[in-house]
Every structure is written in structure tokens, then in C-alpha cells.
Amino acid sequence: MSAEALVPHALVPLWVDALVSLLLLNGAVFCVIGATGLLRFPHFFLRAHPAALPYTMGTWSIAAASVVWFSATQGVLSIQPWTVVVLLPIGAPVAVVFLARAALFRLRRAGHEGAVAAGDSAPVRTEGSASGDGGR
């Protein structure tokens, strides 16, 4: 696309500016909510999920703002920003699974009693097991 085909900012309608601004603010609010989820929960396994949803919604809002802005200024539908939205749901869950596995592996190596090894069943607590007699 040549530079002559771009619409100058002075000719962009006010509703486009307003819509882009609202979508960017919406994306920022969702990202702040995700950051609050990261700070609120006490350990990694609780922090992983609540931050993922707001960040995804924030990214969708920011990508939508990019689509609206570039479509308005270039005069044609611009869908390149949606590649982020397509790749994010693929990459983010995979990354969280690998991070969770690494954290679980570190807990197992440190001898944390709550981390069950792969293939083992969860420890079953019997009536007397809390008193230290092994449930007998």
C-alpha cells in the first residue's frame, strides 16, 4: 500500500477516534484486572488461571482497536492485527501448561509433600492419619 492511499488523521471521522479510544481503554482495564489477579493470589498455581482470561480479553480489545483504526485510515479492511488474537489462544495455554509442569517439578524435587509424582494417586487421608499413627 502506498503512502498516497493513507487517509490523513484530520479526515478520520470522530466516531472512529471515539471507538478506538474506548476499545483501548477497555483493553487497559482488562489488563489491570489481570495484574490484580497476579498480585492477589498466594502462589503460582492459583495465579496462572485468573490472569489469563483478562489478558486475553484485553488483547482482543486492543486488536479490535487496531483493526478499526487501520481499516479507517487505509480505506480497506485490515485483518492483520487479528493474527495476534488467533495465535494467543494457541500459545498461551501451552505456555501455562509448561510453566505449571516446571513449577510442579521444582516442588517435587524440593520434597514438598503436596506435589504428587506423575502416575501416583493422591494421598488418601484416613481417620487417624492426622494424629501421626499412620491411620491404624
Residues in CB range of 31: below 8 A, 6 or more apart = 54, 55, 58
Q: What is the dihedral of CA 64, 67, 72, 74, to 10 degrees?
A: 170
User: Residue 58 domain-assigned?
Assistant: yes
User: Residue 124 domain-assigned?
Assistant: no
Print the domain residue range for 24.
12-115
Where does the pLDDT of residue 136 fall: very low under 50, low under 70, confident under 90, or very high at 90 and above? very low
User: Residue 126 domain-assigned?
Assistant: no
For residue range 1-41, what is the model confidence (pLDDT) as tens digits? Answer: 555 566 666 688 899 999 999 999 999 998 888 888 778 88
The C-alpha cell at 52 is 489469563
User: Residue 36 domain-assigned?
Assistant: yes
What's the pLDDT at 46? 78
Give the amino acid at 98.
Answer: F
For residue range 59-106, what is the model confidence (pLDDT) as tens digits? Answer: 889 999 999 999 998 888 988 888 888 887 777 778 888 888 888 888
User: Residue 135 domain-assigned?
Assistant: no
pLDDT at 130 over 60: no
Q: What angle do CA 66, 79, 87 make, to 5 degrees?
A: 90
What's the pLDDT at 32? 86
Q: Which of 27-41, 46-60, 111-125 has the lowest mean pLDDT?
A: 111-125
Domain count, the chain: 1
What's the pLDDT at 68? 94
Long-range contacts of the stretch 28-31 (C-beta < 8 A, 24+): 28/58, 29/58, 30/54, 30/55, 30/57, 30/58, 30/61, 31/55, 31/58
User: Residue 88 domain-assigned?
Assistant: yes
Residues in CB range of 61: below 8 A, 6 or more apart = 23, 24, 26, 27, 30
What's the pLDDT at 49? 72
